[in-house]
Amino acid sequence: MVTKEAVVEALKEVSYPGFSRDIVSFGIVQGVDVSESAINIKLVLKSDDTSIDAELEQSTKKHLQEKFSDMSVVVGVEHQQAPQFSAQPQEQKPTYLPTVKYKVAVASGKGGVGKSTVAVNLAVALAKHGLKVGLLDADIYGPSIPLMLGVTEKPYYDGSKIYPIEKYGVQLMSLGFLVDNSEAVIWRGALVHRAIQQLMNDVAWPELDVMLFDMPPGTGDAQLTLSQSVSLDGAVIVSTPQDVALLDAVKGVRMFRKVNVPIMGIVENMSYFLCPHCGERTEIFSNGGVKRECKNLDTDLLGEIPIDADIRIGGDNGVPVVQANPDGAQSKAFMDIAANIKEKLQK
C-alpha cells in the first residue's frame, strides 16, 4: 500500500522547472490523494503564468510513475492569484541589491533578546573573517545600529544616491538615517515596503559578500513585507533560553519558512554567565531549550553567547565587543558563530 507520506517524499525529489529547489519546499503541492490504485496530485501556482504548466505536470507525473509503477498517476496544475503577503518563490522575485551575494536576516520573534547586538557583532566578526560585509538596520520600530556602531554622522547624499557609512570594516545603512530619531513611527506595510525599497535601490551599495538585515521584532505584517521585499537568502534567529522567547523564536522560524526563506540556524543569546574574574561558565537557565527546539525544528544551533557586561557596554559605547576586546571569550563566541555562517554561505 502506497502511503501519502511516501508520495510527498517522492515529490520532494521533483524540482521546480528552472530551479534546484523542489516543488514541496516551494509550497505548490496543495493536494495529495492516494487511493488503492491511483495517486492524484494538485499543484497550485500563485501566478497566472502558464508557461511551465506542461513541464511541471510531466516531470511530476513521470517521477511518480517511476516510483510507484503499479499506480495510475494524475497531476493537475492550477493557478491562483497571489494574495499580498503570500509565499512566493524568491528566485522569481525581482533581484534587488545586485551587488550583494547573500542577504541574511537576523531576526527574532520576541523583542529585546539581543538581535541588534548579535547583528552588529556578527557583522564585524564576518568582516574579520575576510568577508565584505554590509549591515542594513531595518528595524522600523527603533533603529539602533548606528548607536551600537558609534556612528553619529548622516550618510553622504550626492543628489541621486545615498552612500553607506563604513565602520569597523562594515558598510552600514539604517532607517534611522532617514527618519528623525524622536519621531515615534508606526509603520504600515506599504510604508515599510517603500522605505526598504529605498534603502535597497537608492543606496550606492558596493560589491558585498553578505548583507545582514537587523529585523524588527515580531512576526507580523511588517516583518513579512520586509522578508518578501528583500528576497532573503537565509535567516538567523536569535533567542534567549527562556520559554517565552523560544516560543516566539519558533514563530519566527515558521514565518520565514512560509515565505521560503531558509533558516540558517538559531543563536542562543544570554545563554550562560561567564565569570569576569575566573572565567568560569555558569548555566543560569540550564534547560537546553534552544538546542531541543533546534532539533524539533530541524535546524542548527549556530552558537551560544554569554550574558556579559562587556557585551552591553560595547553596544552602549558604540564599540562592539568583537572590536573592543577581540581576544576575549565573548568575542570568540561571536567569531565562532560567524565562522559557522560563513561556512554555510559558501557551501
d(CA 108, CA 92) in angstroms, rounded, equals: 26
State which residue, 31 or 112, has the beta carbon closest to ligand ATP.
112
Written as nine digits, the cell of 214 is 537587523
Q: Closest approach of Cβ 289 to Mg ion, in Å?
A: 22
Q: How many residues bind Mg ion (CB under 5 A)?
A: 3
**Does residue 108 belong to the site contacting ligand ATP (CB under 6 A)?**
yes
Taking the complex as a whole, the smallest distance from the CB of residue 139 to Mg ion amounts, in Å, to 5
Binding mask 209-228 for ligand ATP (x = CB under 6 A): --------x-----------
The item of Mg ion, ligand ATP, none sharing an interface with residue 140, based on CB under 5 to 8 Å by kind, is none
60: left (phi over 0), alpha (psi -120 to 50) or beta: alpha
Contact by Cβ (8 Å): 102, 90: no
| Among Mg ion, ligand ATP, none, partner that 269 touches (CB below 5 to 8 angstroms by kind) | ligand ATP
Nearer to ligand ATP, 259 or 307 (CB): 307
Binding to Mg ion in span 105-164, by CB under 5 A: 115-116, 139
CB of 142 to ligand ATP, least distance (A): 6
Taking CB under 6 A as the binding criterion, the range among 58-66, 115-123, 172-180, 289-297 that sits at the site for ligand ATP is: 115-123
User: Out of 17, 111, 150, 189, which residue is the one contacting ligand ATP (CB under 6 A)?
Assistant: 111
- What is the strand order of the sheet 38-45 is part of? 29-34, 38-45, 72-79
Least Å from the CB of residue 271 to ligand ATP: 8
- CB 237, CB 108: distance < 8 Å: yes
Q: Provide the b/e sequence for 257-289 (b: ≥16 CB within 10 Å).
A: bebbbbbbbbbbbbbbebeeeeeeeeeebeeeb
The nearer residue to Mg ion, 119 or 224, going by C-beta atoms, is 119
DSSP string, 144-192: -HHHHTT--SPPPB-SS-BPPEEETTEEEEEHHHHS-TT------HHHH
Distance of closest approach, residue 315 Cβ to ligand ATP, in angstroms = 4
Q: Which is nearer to ligand ATP, 17 or 142 (CB)?
A: 142
Binding-residue pattern over the window 269 to 308 for ligand ATP, x denoting contact by CB under 6 A: xx----------------------------------x-xx
Cβ proximity to Mg ion: between 139 and 293 the closer is: 139
Q: How far apart are CA 57 and CA 59, in angstroms?
A: 6
Four-point Cα dihedral 304, 305, 306, 308, nearest 10: 180
Query: Could you tell me the smallest distance in angstroms from the CB atom of residue 121 to ligand ATP?
Result: 9
Which set of grid coordinates corresponds to residue 160? 541621486
Q: Which runs of consecutive H residues, i.e. helices, occur in the chain? A: 4-11, 53-67, 115-128, 145-148, 175-178, 189-201, 221-230, 243-258, 289-297, 309-317, 321-324, 329-346
Please pick, from the candidates 89, 109, 114, 328, the single residue that binds ligand ATP as defined by CB under 6 A: 114
List the single partner that 194 binds among ligand ATP, Mg ion, none, CB under 5 to 8 Å by kind: none
Query: Which listed residue (18, 31, 76, 112) binds ligand ATP by CB under 6 A?
Result: 112
**Least distance from ligand ATP to the Cβ atom of residue 308, Å:** 5
Q: Is 323 in the site for Mg ion (CB under 5 A)?
A: no
Asked if 237 and 119 count as a contact pair (C-beta separation under 8 A), the reply is no
Residues contacting residue 285 through CB under 8 Å, at least 6 positions apart: 241, 242, 271, 272
Q: Which 8-state DSSP code applies to residue 242?
A: S
Cell of 103: 542577504
For the chain, the first-to-last Cα distance in angstroms comes to 38
**List of residues contacting ligand ATP (CB under 6 A):** 108, 111-117, 139, 142, 144, 217, 269-270, 305, 307-308, 311-312, 315
**List of residues contacting Mg ion (CB under 5 A):** 115-116, 139
